[in-house]
Chains A and B, each alone.
Chain A
Amino acid sequence: MKLGKWKLLLPLALLVVGATIGTSGALAKSAQSSDVKVAIMTDCKGAFAFGYEVDTAGTIAAFSQYAGAKPKNKKKPSAGMTGGSAGGKKLNIVGIGCGDETPALALKETRRLMVQLGGEVMIGPLSGDEAVSIAQWAKQNPQKTVIIGTAGSQDPTMQIAPKNLFRYHGDGAQWNAGLGEIVYKKLGWRTAALIGDDYSFPWTSAAGIIADFCGIGGKITKRVWTPPAGGDYAPFIRQLPAPDKVDGYFWLVGGANTSAALTAFEQAYGPVNAKQHSGNLFLYFLGANTTVAPRLVGAYMGGFGTFQTGGLKTKQAVQYVKNSSKWFTGQNVNDGFFYNYWNAAWALVQGLNKSGGRTGAALQRALPKTLRPGFQVANNGVLKLDSRRQAIQDQYPLQITKATGTGSVTTTIAGYVPNVDQTFGGYFGPNKPAPGRNYPRCVKKKLPWQGKIKVVKNGVITNQTIK
């Protein structure tokens, strides 16, 4: 080989590298734009993979309703949207993040969306630990704004609470408000065991149940936590007390894993008695409506403050369903994933209109402190944010029932708990630990709504209280 040949090789190699880098947008560049760059952070892998289209649908539907956008494909929300502006600036969705409920991937995706793709506002994430991770990131990036999509861990707006992070829905504890009191009064539970995934959302979810159930006098005799990756639940089920040793069980196993966990329970203890089981939203939502709920007809459960199959007949709720239903086909607008992303996007449009399209601190000041979401009833239908930018929302404990006529399984509203705040009247707080495996402790304490949960009949809130 001639020496001259390899001399040619080096410039050639550098040319190839340079071209690759150039086409990848790696070289430093500064781009000025009149757009508002919005990133949607959701999951497309793992137990919540279905959320990718649902969350995107909620976001784009709100942009369509309130900012003049139009979905590109009514059957495929992730295809994006055309048009749409707020505060005089065009809404530009720079990317849709693809998480897998792990904090590590959520942070990587956040950096990609908000740094590489230049996102100024993020709507998301979907899951609890993701929100913990992104809240920490937000704290270090005060010029960026995060409006949580539908993640329910307590920490992001309680212990971490960066000023540029907002949540227009409840956390996992708020979503279970009233449930403990209902099983205590309606089913006569006095002792219960709980089983849940071992991460921040189920811990928060359990915290709401514990506060409520123990607050009225119940006892949690066992807490069992399973690795969130799912898999074989049999060894964990065996750690639970047998059905004759406890009045009931609270289920907080996440995503698509609830069915597998329940099957393991049935293999260990025989067919389930629905009156002995209760749990959070995972008993019905996220596909559990076909795998779990049919085995638990009659059981009470938490939710999102929404109703998978509709139900509330207030004017505001009816209007929301009407407005949100027209943008996509095949989307259940009563689903908490759709509803919460819708509200986040709607709040963003309001904020941008007020800030004149400016982002950063101007947008953070302008984001609304109140909202009129479809399923809010208290305060004349106005949802308020607290001082840590966390929603104080109404909650509706649900009961799994059989639909009249079709015989299919559905949910009906079991009660109405107005104005559930994140602290549960001081039970939780920014200077107290975040919920964990053994926190909060089971103590009797009067919650603000104790004894005041209203009965809901046929979607109408009555003046009767749950007894």
Chain B
Amino acid sequence: MTFDRTKVAAERTIGVVSLVIAILAPAIFSAFWLNSILTQGLILGIGAASLIFLSAYGGMISLAQTGLIGIAGYALANMVTQRVPGGETKGLLLGWDPTLGLIAAILLTVGIGLVFGAVASRSYGIYFLMLTLTYTVIAFLFVGSVTLIGGFSPVAGVDQYTPGFIGNIVADRERLYYIALISAVFVYLLIRYVVRTPFGISFQGIRDDPVRMASLGYNVALHRTLAFGLGAFIAAISGVLYAWWFGQLSPTTMGLDATIQLLIIAVLGGLRRIEGAWIGALAFLAINNTVTNHIPSSGLPVIGGTFNTVIGFIFLAIVIVSPDGLMGLWDRMWETARRRGSPPRDVEGGEATVGATTS
């Protein structure tokens, strides 16, 4: 067995064990951890996966994903909530069928994502970053300013309106957890599949050298637009799940803090591998919860500050020690082990390991 195959086997083992733990989670974890940390982690992980997909395979670090998550959530909230006595007070309260609302919210988000993507498709680097940040700011100000769809007060009660195939997630929160888990697995497999298709390969080619790809006849802008649309689709899944999980939508869902939070999650997990999205999300939430419960609001000794200070230090450490995040740390560990290994053990079964070195 080659060294790389060993690594793949290890990762698959960990993946399977993680999945088994995830399936058994309701029996293992307390209700709070299941509902607030794990479910939220899966949902935020899906959002971060949309960012990592664009970054890892297209070289497009998009700050619009938070905006797209919020758009999907707001669309769903406005479409499905109803005016009932003792009920909701904000939003359009259209009272649509939840299944119709779900489909419409995702389609609307993908449509907006395609428009966003088309406008940004010829921008690169810092310009792309700024343009996509602008999208999120526009979305934030739009929902805050247009009180008809909510304003700065929350549009609430979204979790009471779910499609029949999902069932009552208010009474049975485990349902939402499993929906989030299935969605996360679906998104993971979808991205893994897409990047292996001809479209995915050419998308990665565009990431590496857009000029060469254009000269070969590929429509670079179209590829980037479509990829952005796919990113919007994934973000929309995260958005509707978030709306159900949180039950309420307010503009801070897509504020600057939330945008930075999603970026931190992606960087924490690793911007080069999809798995990093969920690892980053769970690490972020676990740190947040621990810090909030154990550090007084007056802050840490000497330096003061609270969660933002702690996550700031961790972020700094990650960027310095492992720019590719926790997944990069994992890869580096294996790379170090590989370098320390001897050539005969690195080449087994007659297959050479690419990049293998000896120390």
Contacts and interface: CB of A to CB of B under 8 A. Distances in A.
Contact of A198 (B33, B152, B156): B152
Contacts of B28: 27-28
A395 B163 CA distance: 47
Given A28-B27, A160-B86, A104 B17 contact: no
Interface stretch (A263-271, A428-436, A458-466): A428-436
Contacts of A115: 31-32, 35-36
Contact of A112 (B27, B85, B289, B306): B289
B6 A434 contact: no
Interface string B211-246: 000000000000000000000000000000000001
A155 B87 CA distance: 10
B19 to A, nearest CB: 14
Given A1-B338, A161-B86, A198-B144, A136 B156 contact: yes
Contacts of A105: 252
Contact of B89 (A1, A3, A44, A132): A132
A153 B152 CA distance: 13
A26 B147 contact: no
Contact of A159 (B89, B154, B298): B89
B74 interface: no
B157 interface: yes
Nearest to B292: A112
A24 interface: yes
A434 B89 contact: yes
A3 B341 CA distance: 11
A6 B341 CA distance: 13
Contacts of B151: 198-199, 436-437
B250 A129 contact: yes
B86 A139 contact: yes
Contact of B246 (A20, A104, A228): A104
B289 A24 contact: yes
A6 B86 contact: no
Contact of A27 (B30, B85, B141, B296): B30
Contacts of A227: 141, 144-145, 152
Interface string B281-292: 000001001101
Contact of B250 (A26, A103, A437): A103
Interface residues of A, number: 57
Nearest to B294: A24
B178 to A, nearest CB: 17
Contact-residue size bin, chain B (C-beta under 8 Å from the other chain): 35 or more
Given A98-B297, A107-B246, A434-B89, A10 B152 contact: no
B340 interface: yes
* B interface SS class: helix
B256 to A, nearest CB: 10
A395 B286 CA distance: 46
Interface in B63-104: 85-90
Contacts of A436: 147, 151
Nearest to A42: B297
Contacts of B60: none
Contacts of B133: none
Interface in A356-386: none
B154 A132 contact: yes
Contacts of B27: 28
Given A20-B286, A44-B297, A132-B156, A26 B6 contact: no
Contacts of B278: none
Given A27-B29, A52-B297, A133-B154, A102 B252 contact: yes
B293 interface: yes
A52 B86 CA distance: 30
B6 A6 contact: yes
A95 to B, nearest CB: 8
Contacts of A5: 337
B153 interface: yes
Interface in A102-161: 102-105, 107, 111-112, 115-117, 129, 132-133, 136-137, 139-140, 153, 155, 159-161
A26 B285 CA distance: 12
B154 A25 contact: no
A2 B340 CA distance: 11
A96 interface: yes
Contacts of A98: 292, 297, 306
11 contacts: A3-B6, A14-B17, A21-B33, A26-B30, A26-B37, A27-B29, A112-B36, A116-B289, A132-B154, A140-B247, A159-B86
The 3 closest A-B pairs by CB, nearest first: A136-B156, A116-B32, A103-B154
Interface of B: 1, 3, 6, 10, 13-14, 17, 27-33, 35-37, 85-90, 141, 144-145, 147, 151-154, 156-157, 159, 170, 246-248, 250, 252-253, 286, 289-290, 292-293, 296-298, 306, 337-338, 340-341, 345
Interface of A: 1-3, 5-6, 9-10, 13-14, 20-21, 24-29, 44, 52, 78, 95-96, 98, 102-105, 107, 111-112, 115-117, 129, 132-133, 136-137, 139-140, 153, 155, 159-162, 198-200, 227-228, 430-431, 433-434, 436-437
